[in-house]
């Protein structure tokens, strides 16, 4: 029996969250009224100047919400494009500056937008992609980062996401940037050997404090659809002195980095969504953290279900809206299908790999074996999530887990062996398999 949208429990806000009513009303008015006159914001006539002024105001509002300069804000179609423009733009800029093999340093936990862009830059532009080590919670190892930066001249960029989009772990960005500055010996862009640092803050903004200036970043990525704006609008912050070379031609909009007629309606929607999310973050954090704890407590009370982030470790910062789990000897697709049939919308991880059955690269990098890395559940909550939503998930989970385990046993034609669920042995056996270059 199908379940209507109205009766469903949506717990996949980390993938995308519903458009906020205030934002929807603004977008509808902008489209209905044509922003006071349909025109390209780059046009020189009166209508164009009017729309151009509205774009400038949206840029200023977003900059104010992020506490940056308006000239540092560049609009894009979303976080993926922004990440790609920064990684590719820095690789090309380093090549233009005479670096034969520009190095892009990342963690192995990054969003595919960063990892795939770094690998493509290495393969097609003669660069090098280096992944640093992380610990069992997914926190970047400063010593590994230092080694990667000092491995030789030519580091074009370091890119570390502020909060992981799967597990929700939050990095010490200020500390990591300081590690890069100490390792390179250069603290100002004009200094020889200076290494720019970028952070994908898509999963962090609106959920945990984000401070471009205090962290000492050179570039930062944000997007709208995680915060209540429509899909299709994002931005990145880039210091004025950060040199980026665009991989494409065009009209040279957005400081010459991202060509194309700007989406003024989307820019205004993004500015409003960020303003609202930042303003309510502190109040929402406490409510969401209580819901997260309830999910983890209820789920881990079931046999063979574990919290991904270390239990009892208060020193591991995390976003309050994501509860990430892994379970023993189960089939993820069967689990998700059973929950879906029960009217529960959750995911196994990043929606960017939807339809592709593979172990989580995030958990593999954290030291998990392939079995647990394939058997994960991400419950992510948002503004509209209630305590009843969480209870519906917990009520549906036992039967869903039974279905997942039956599917797992049938696929392997073996009897369940409880020893395979031992977390320590699973993580230790995977240590030698981690896709990490610098340790």
Going by C-beta distance under 8 Å and a sequence separation of 6 or more, which residues neighbour residue 226? 13, 14, 16, 17, 79, 202, 203, 205, 206
CB neighbourhood size of 142 (10 A): 18
**Which pair of tokens denotes residue 371?**
């079995």
**Confidence class of residue 4 from pLDDT cuts 50, 70 and 90?**
low
E strand map for 176-263: 197-200, 219-223, 234-238
The three-point CA angle 407-409-411 to 5° equals 70
Least confident interval from 156-170, 247-261, 283-297, 374-388: 247-261
**Confidence class of residue 22 from pLDDT cuts 50, 70 and 90?**
very high
Together in a domain, 28 and 161: yes
Burial (0-12, 13-18, 19+ Cβ within 10 Å), 167: buried
**Domain around 120:** 21-276
Domain with residue 371: its CATH number is: 3.90.1150.10
Would you say residue 346 lies in a domain?
yes
CA dihedral angle for residue 71, residue 73, residue 77, residue 78, rounded to 10 degrees? 170
In contact, 23 and 228? CB cutoff 8 Å: yes
**What pLDDT is stored for residue 96 in this prediction?**
94
Looking at the 3D structure of the chain, how many domains does it have? 2
In contact, 17 and 383? CB cutoff 8 Å: yes
Would you say residue 220 lies in a domain?
yes
Q: Helix 173-184 to helix 142-149 angle, to the nearest 10 degrees?
A: 40
Q: For residue range 367-383, what is the model confidence (pLDDT) as tens digits?
A: 999 989 989 999 999 99
**Which pair of tokens denotes residue 418?**
């409880």
Together in a domain, 272 and 295: no
Would you say residue 91 lies in a domain?
yes
Among residues 252, 276, 300, the one where a domain terminates is 276
Would you say residue 4 lies in a domain?
no
Catalytic residues: 352
Averaged pLDDT of the chain: 90
**Confidence class of residue 5 from pLDDT cuts 50, 70 and 90?**
low
In contact, 235 and 270? CB cutoff 8 Å: yes
Together in a domain, 290 and 154: no
The CA distance from 189 to 300, in Å, is 48
Domain with residue 65: its CATH number is: 3.40.640.10
**What pLDDT is stored for residue 414 in this prediction?**
47
**What pLDDT is stored for residue 153 in this prediction?**
85
Among residues 276, 304, 336, the one where a domain terminates is 276
Together in a domain, 220 and 290: no
The CB-based long-range contact list for 214-219 (8 Å cut-off, 24+ gap) reads: 214/174, 215/173, 215/174, 215/177, 216/174, 216/177, 216/178, 216/181, 217/173, 217/177, 218/189, 218/242, 219/86
Specify the 3-state DSSP secondary structure of 333.
helix
More confident residue, 299 or 352: 299
Would you say residue 439 lies in a domain?
no
End-to-end Cα, the chain, rounded Å: 51
Mean pLDDT of 338-358: 78
The CA distance from 411 to 414, in Å, is 8
Mean pLDDT of 390-394: 98
Together in a domain, 240 and 261: yes
In contact, 178 and 186? CB cutoff 8 Å: no
Q: For residue range 57-88, what is the model confidence (pLDDT) as tens digits?
A: 999 999 999 999 999 999 999 999 999 999 99
**What pLDDT is stored for residue 201 in this prediction?**
98
Together in a domain, 198 and 237: yes
Would you say residue 425 lies in a domain?
no
The three-point CA angle 402-408-411 to 5° equals 140
Among residues 247, 276, 305, the one where a domain terminates is 276
Together in a domain, 268 and 308: no
Going by C-beta distance under 8 Å and a sequence separation of 6 or more, which residues neighbour residue 419? 425
Would you say residue 367 lies in a domain?
yes
**Which pair of tokens denotes residue 86?**
């920064």
The CA distance from 367 to 272, in Å, is 40
Together in a domain, 103 and 217: yes
Place of tokens 């990440």: 83
Nearest residue to 181 (alpha-carbon basis) of 221, 215, 222, 133:
215
In contact, 332 and 308? CB cutoff 8 Å: no
Together in a domain, 47 and 169: yes
According to DSSP, the β-strands at 322-327 and 376-380 are antiparallel
Count, residues in the chain: 439
Together in a domain, 270 and 294: no
Is-above-0.85 flag for pTM? yes
**What pLDDT is stored for residue 426 in this prediction?**
45
Together in a domain, 134 and 222: yes
Would you say residue 2 lies in a domain?
no
Together in a domain, 272 and 293: no
């Amino acid at each position: 029996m199908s379940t209507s949208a109205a009766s469903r429990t949506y717990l996949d806000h980390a993938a995308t969250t519903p458009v906020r009513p205030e934002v929807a009303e603004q977008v509808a008015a902008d489209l209905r009224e044509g922003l006071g006159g349909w025109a390209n914001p780059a046009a020189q006539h009166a209508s164009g100047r009017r729309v151009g002024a509205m774009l400038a105001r949206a840029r200023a509002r977003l900059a104010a919400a992020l506490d940056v300069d308006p000239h540092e804000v560049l609009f894009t179609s979303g976080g993926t494009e922004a990440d790609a423009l920064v990684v590719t733009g820095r690789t090309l800029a380093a090549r233009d500056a005479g670096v034969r093999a520009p190095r892009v340093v990342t963690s192995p936990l990054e969003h595919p937008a960063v990892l795939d862009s770094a690998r493509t830059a290495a393969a097609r532009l003669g660069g090098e992609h280096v992944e640093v080590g992380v610990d069992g919670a997914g926190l970047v190892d400063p010593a590994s980062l230092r080694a990667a930066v000092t491995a030789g001249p030519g580091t074009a960029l370091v890119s570390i996401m502020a909060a992981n989009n799967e597990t929700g772990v939050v990095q010490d960005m200020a500390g990591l940037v300081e590690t890069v500055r100490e390792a390179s010996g250069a603290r100002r862009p004009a200094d020889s050997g200076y290494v720019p640092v970028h952070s994908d803050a898509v999963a962090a903004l609106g959920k945990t404090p984000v401070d471009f200036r205090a962290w000492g970043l050179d570039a930062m990525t944000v997007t709208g659809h995680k915060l209540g704006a429509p899909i299709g609008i994002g931005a990145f912050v880039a210091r004025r002195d950060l040199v980026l070379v665009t991989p494409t031609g065009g009209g040279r909009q957005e400081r010459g980095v991202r060509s194309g007629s700007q989406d003024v309606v989307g820019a205004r929607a993004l500015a409003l969504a960020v303003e609202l999310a930042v303003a309510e973050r502190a109040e929402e954090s406490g409510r969401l953290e209580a819901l997260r704890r309830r999910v983890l407590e209820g789920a881990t009370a079931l046999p063979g279900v574990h919290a991904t982030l270390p239990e009892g470790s208060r020193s591991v910062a995390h976003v309050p809206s994501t509860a990430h789990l892994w379970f023993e000897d189960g089939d993820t697709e069967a689990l998700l299908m059973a929950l879906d049939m029960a009217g529960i919308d959750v995911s196994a991880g990043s929606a960017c790999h939807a339809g592709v059955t593979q172990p989580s690269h995030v958990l593999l990098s954290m030291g998990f074996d392939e079995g647990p890395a394939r058997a994960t559940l991400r419950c992510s909550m948002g503004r509209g999530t209630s305590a009843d939503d969480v209870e519906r998930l917990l009520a549906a989970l036992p039967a869903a887990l039974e279905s997942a385990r039956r599917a797992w046993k049938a696929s392997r034609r073996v009897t369940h062996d409880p020893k395979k669920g031992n977390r320590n042995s699973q993580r230790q056996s995977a240590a030698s398999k981690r896709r990490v270059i610098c340790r």
